[in-house]
Amino acid sequence: MVIPTDVNRILAQMTLAEKVSLVSGADGWQTQEVARLGIGSLKTTDGPAGARGKLSVGGSQAVFLPAPAGQAATWSRADVRAIGRVLSREAETKAAQVLLAPTVCCVRNPLGGRNFESFSEDPFLSGALALEYVAGLQEKGNVVAAAKHFVANEQEFERFTINANISEKALREIYLRPFEMIVKGPSPPGCLMTSYNSVNGLHADMNCVLIQDILRGEWKYEGLVMSDWGGTNSTVESLIAGCDLEMPGPSDRRGEKLLKMIESDENGALAVALAQSSGRVLSLLERMGLLGLSESAAKASRTAEEKSSTAATDLQTVCDVVANGTVLLKNSWNVLPLLPHQISGKTITFIGPNARIGAAGGGGSASMNPQYQSHPMDAFKKRTAQCGVDVQVEYSIGAYSHKWLPLVTRDRWTVATNTGPDSVLRLEFFDAPDCGGSLVETQYRTESLMDLFDTAPLALQGTSRVYSFRMTSTVTPGTTGRHAFGITSIGNSRLFVDQTLLVDNYHWKEPGESFYSFGSSEARQSMDMVAGQTYHVVLESSSKDYMDVSSQNNAGETIENPFGTQPSVRLGFLEQPSGSLISDALELANRSDFTVLVVGLNEEWESEGFDRQTMELPGSQIELITALLSGMTQPSNLIIVNQSGSPVEMAWCDEAGTIIQAWYGGQEAGHALADVLLGLKPPSGRLPMTWPRRYPDLPFATDPESWPGVSGQVYYKEGVEVGYRWYLRQHVQPQWWFGYGLSYTTFLVSNLHMTMTQGGLILHVTVNNEGTFAGQEVIQVYCWPAELPERRELVSFQKTSLLQPGCEQVIELDVQFRDMAHWDCGHWLLEKGTYVLGICDHAGGLAIVRQDVSIPSSLKWDP
């Protein structure tokens, strides 16, 4: 590593304690400044779907971007680079220099909790798009990416401790490959974040094979390596391995522990490792303009002001990307698009749990406080009005899909406050259990997800502080009935209504999936309530013994995770429904000309912290779908829209005529969906992951050792047969193949020409729009040995521009021989022989056009 002269000069002036302070965070999101030397504080911010600032819940507003799975569904390098540019400007408004994104892990199993946060099951598509994301983000030089999670974080089950056993071939070809592509690309990410899990016996943050040998040795990466939050598993080993920065702070593993170990280290190896890591921290600070500050400016770098402003052009970019990633799965009767002039005077009914309040994104580090939210039904009304079309829009929920009771709403809940009309809860914090001791601070909240990881009073934050809080509010139900309250919590909690204890969750024992799976299962109770009557609600919560929310590392040491220490609580409330939801929805559908059914998942089902337990749609959504398909007088006029970040089972698929996969579209989700439904924008997305028919079709369903793991070990038994590779080689037919997607128009692909280059091939192909609607086609190039068609793999892709009917475009595709190679005994090898380059509609399709390529002698590349 070559350290810049200025950095060396500053290092020479630093005390040992100051160097130690640089290699661990100062708080939840920032590094420690050294004011006397003009060293500022580096600020990080989540995450993959937007730059949300310094608070995980309830912080500054920010643009809510489509989930990365939806970004990848565009199959557009230009679209993903544009998202990176938007993120660059957003991070600047949050005074942050490091964006904790992109997530470059591959989708291994459709139940993975963070699949929505990744790009694809395919390493080439993941790497190619991540490269554009990083390049767009780092283009201005004001922010750098922290690509994550290095490596093999494909599940959330036991994510802090699980050991992923992966063959060298699978590790190289699938899981390391996208990281290699971005590190060796023209704009390497400024940071890499290690995963929580172990890989082949060692935690990623202290894995010398991954960090020292591969990342720094083979790939020559010179950027900063940081741990995931709470993912530093040792004091010495992680530093020696080259994990430069422990996050978050205050330090758990380093700090005084590291200082004492270095002072007592006789051979000086730790001091050398410290100099290297602190040097990399300083190098990044210099790159971000945070060296050479005045003492006051260095101190002020910890408190830089956050803002929320997004240009109209950026919002249009986001909306376009969401529409471009929308995948038309079926359009059997050509019901879509609902052209404005054809639906004038018609009745359009929106049904489903995601119809009025759509799913914007998944949970965890990808959650956001959006500037606004567009929802399917309201956005459709807005767009038709803008088109001057008179339509009647009706609504019925039809089914519930919540895992926990819905968060409280501002139309029913309120609290007396001088801070504004939006507050629904008041929180009073005390420095002792059971709301005793002194009152430390009073806060007002706008939602009932009270995550205190970084929003508890500063005086109470820390892994060993014991404190409590009291929440007060009032609720005025809109209906009379037996209404339900529910609480999940990390700490001890109990709920009183009109001074009567209703829900007791004080000494809970049954764990649940809330708060990254550190919280309890939901404790629910119902009570009779009268419409219009106001009820006073008090919730009390105290810190729980940290041993109940701790885990162990490979050495058997107890680790207190920062996500499980604050007594956070989630409060839910649901009024008793009246009537039959499904029959009401069916009756309304039969009185309508078209029905748009919006179903799917949301942040309660797909999130950091837990994996899905089933591929089925939750709640009574399946019953609702089958009732509409079988009971509607004109089922052909039913348009089914699914919002999710990964596949769901669709046993009803054959009976449905029109299906759209809309992903999680962030704050523009509703607008983009309306544009696609109305034909204002064509759907041009393609699936970035294979869609199984049923989860039992997959080998994971009957082999717990391969998913989710047994006794702290998970075995990647499928090797390189991930996603479509497995389906091809096992001759299993999925519901939809990787790369599948329809258009409102039809394309002709012809005139394939090939030119040899020094490192590969250049293909040219002509794409003609033969249909009656404008559209974009995705050209996918797969390679396979001539005698083994089931060994096909994606090696190139390109998306056309928007082609009007009758127009054509010549597409150029670059195929590198290195991307056709496979890992073999310590190097990359492309064996001699004949290979087919085929342009296919999807991974399982026949070649539309093809070209044989002869490799006269084997080619090898060093790693």
Residues with a known catalytic role: 228
d(CA 563, CA 456): 13
Distance CA 205, CA 752 (A): 47
Residue for token digits 């702070």?
249
Tokens of 722: 């991930």
Instruction: Produce one character per residue of 682-696: b if its CB has 16 or more CB atoms within 10 Å, e if not.
Output: bbbbbbbbbbbbebe
**Strands (DSSP E) found in 645-739:** 658-661, 713-715
Q: How far is residue 459's CA from residue 724's CA, in Å, rounded to a whole number?
A: 52
**249: amino acid identity, one letter:** G
Q: Rounded distance, CA 427 to CA 425, Å?
A: 7
State how far the Cα of 717 lies from the Cα of 699, in Å rounded to an integer: 9
Dihedrals φ, ψ of 670, to 5°?
-70, -45
Q: Where are the beta strands (DSSP E) in 143-292?
A: 144-150, 163-165, 191-194, 198-199, 202-203, 224-226
Three-class DSSP category at 636: helix
Q: Quick check: 361 and 603 in contact, CB under 8 A?
A: yes
Q: Given strand 191-194, what is the order of strands in its sheet? A: 44-45, 98-99, 144-150, 191-194, 224-226
Where do we find the tokens 């009109």? 498
Q: In what order do the strands lie in the sheet with 778-785?
A: 793-799, 778-785, 833-840, 847-855
Q: Are 770 and 764 in contact (CB under 8 A)?
A: no
Task: Give the three-class secondary structure for 84.
Answer: helix
Which tokens hold the place of 463?
Answer: 């892994």
CA angle 637, 640, 642 (to 5 degrees): 170
**Alpha carbon distances (Å) from 28 to 45, 360, 482, 563:** 10, 25, 41, 10
Nearest-10 crossing angle of helices 581-590, 621-631: 30
Peptide bond into 337 cis (omega under 30): yes
Q: Comparing C-alpha atoms, which of 792, 791, 795, 765 is closest to residue 780?
A: 795
Q: Which residues pair with 202 in a beta bridge?
A: 199
Helix residue ranges, H only, 288-416: 295-300, 312-325, 340-343, 376-386
Peptide bond into 250 cis (omega under 30): yes
| Rounded distance between C-alpha atoms, residue 92 and residue 289, angstroms | 13
Kindly report the number of other CB atoms within 10 A of residue 8's CB atom.
13
Terminal C-alpha separation, the chain: 19
DSSP letter assigned to residue 584:
H
Which residue is it, tokens 């002072």? Answer: 263
Element of type H or E holding 588: helix 581-590
Q: What residues contact residue 209 under an 8 Å CB cut-off, 6+ apart?
A: 200, 202
Cα gap 213→219, rounded to integer Å: 9
Cα angle 738-741-746, degrees, rounded to a multiple of 5 = 140
Burial status of residue 219 (CB atoms within 10 A of its CB: 0-12, 13-18, 19 or more): middle
With beta carbons less than 8 A apart as the criterion, state whether 298 and 23 touch: no
For residue 215, give the DSSP letter.
I
Rg over alpha carbons for the chain, rounded to the nearest Å, is: 27
Neighbour tally for 838: CB within 10 Å: 21
- Cα distance between residue 371 and residue 60, in whole Å: 9
